[in-house]
Amino acid sequence: MDLSILGIPMDLGAGRRGVDMGPSALRNAHLARTLRGLGHTVTDLGDVEVPLPETVDKHAGSGLVFLETILAACRSAAEQVAALPEDTFPVTLGGDHSVSMGTVTGNALRGGSPRRTGLIWVDAHTDYNTPQSSPSGNIHGMPVAHLTGRGDPQLAGLGGGWHLRPEDIVMIGIRSVDAKERELLREAGVKAYTMKDVDQLGITRITAETLERLAGTERLHVSFDADALDPSVAPGVGTPVPGGLTYREGHLLMELLAESGRVTSLDIVEVNPVLDTRNQTAEVMVGMAASLLGQRIL
């Protein structure tokens, strides 16, 4: 397969600094070499240009912190991804999870006209806040709501009128949801497998149900937030939550999705080298990407 790597070194949507170094950490953990080793042709497109927070007006745009800068970075990511050939598999590297507003949009629009796209959101958090519901105001807690057209009109308008259908979203690994966010999720009908579901049903059944639920979609995007994994496996994240996916649960999910042959793009986000131990989290996430892209034990 032809793979294209694109970094979005942005930490403006998060409460803590450092995930802007995520793309470097993942490259340092030999992402490209690992994927080439699986037989893929890999092109590294470099990074989307993101200004340093010290150089921009934090409150430009509206009440949301760094809105204008985040909007510009997401728009640029969306344009670059949308311009890639249809048979290319984009691997996009965050950055905080707000970058997915750009990457998911770009992937849905790739090839000229919008395609029905399924989103598999692997995360400790549902990231379904709107500016009104969010307790923190951090945009990285809001990307999925905006992808479905809710929230700030500019962020929700990134796809030029294209939006994800809530029924085409499946979340896995969930264990931290804000009170108002919970109501929004229910209202929208987004399917979320919590860690309780992972414990009870197991990853095999959850993956099968997910693929069945998203059977009508033409493209399938996996957005993997490193904090979905247990902090003992992935300590280098800004918002760690105990009780996450084990190392093997993460790999099994990726291996089963790979076997389906249906996934068309991937994000790896929220890797924070400042909080990490010897780049462990980036290395683990490169392993997850490898499993999604065909690495097998036998």
Q: How far is the CB of 122 from Mn ion (least distance, A)?
A: 9
User: Beta-strand (E) ranges in the chain?
Assistant: 2-8, 41-47, 88-94, 117-122, 169-174, 191-194, 219-225, 265-269
Number of Cβ within a 10 Å radius of residue 258: 17
Q: How far is the CB of 141 from Mn ion (least distance, A)?
A: 8
Instruction: Report yes or no: 100 and 130 within 8 Å, Cβ to Cβ.
Output: no
Candidates 11, 20, 47, 127: give the one binding Mn ion (CB under 5 A): 127
Q: How far is the CB of 286 from Mn ion (least distance, A)?
A: 19
> Segment contacting Mn ion (CB under 5 A): 63-71, 105-113, 222-230, 257-265?
222-230
Q: How far is the CB of 262 from Mn ion (least distance, A)?
A: 22
> Is residue 225 a contact point for Mn ion (CB under 5 A)?
yes
If phi > 0 it is left, if psi is from -120 to 50 it is alpha, else beta; for residue 109 that is alpha
Q: Cis (ω within 30 of 0) for the bond into 63?
A: no
Catalytic residues: 97, 123, 125, 127, 140, 225, 227, 270
Contacts of 102 (CB under 8 A, 6+ apart): 8, 48, 73, 74, 75, 76, 77, 78, 81, 158
Nearer of residues 84 and 192 to Mn ion, judged by Cβ = 192
> Is residue 165 a contact point for Mn ion (CB under 5 A)?
no
> Is residue 267 a contact point for Mn ion (CB under 5 A)?
no
d(CA 190, CA 205): 18
Q: What length does the chain have?
A: 298
* Helix runs in 122-230, H state only: 143-147, 153-156, 179-188, 195-201, 203-213
User: Pattern 167-206, binding to Mn ion, x per CB under 5 A?
Assistant: ----------------------------------------
> Is residue 221 a contact point for Mn ion (CB under 5 A)?
no
Candidates 27, 75, 97, 251: give the one binding Mn ion (CB under 5 A): 97
Nearer of residues 34 and 176 to Mn ion, judged by Cβ = 176
> Is residue 123 a contact point for Mn ion (CB under 5 A)?
yes
Which residues form the interface with Mn ion (CB under 5 A)? 97, 123, 125, 127, 225
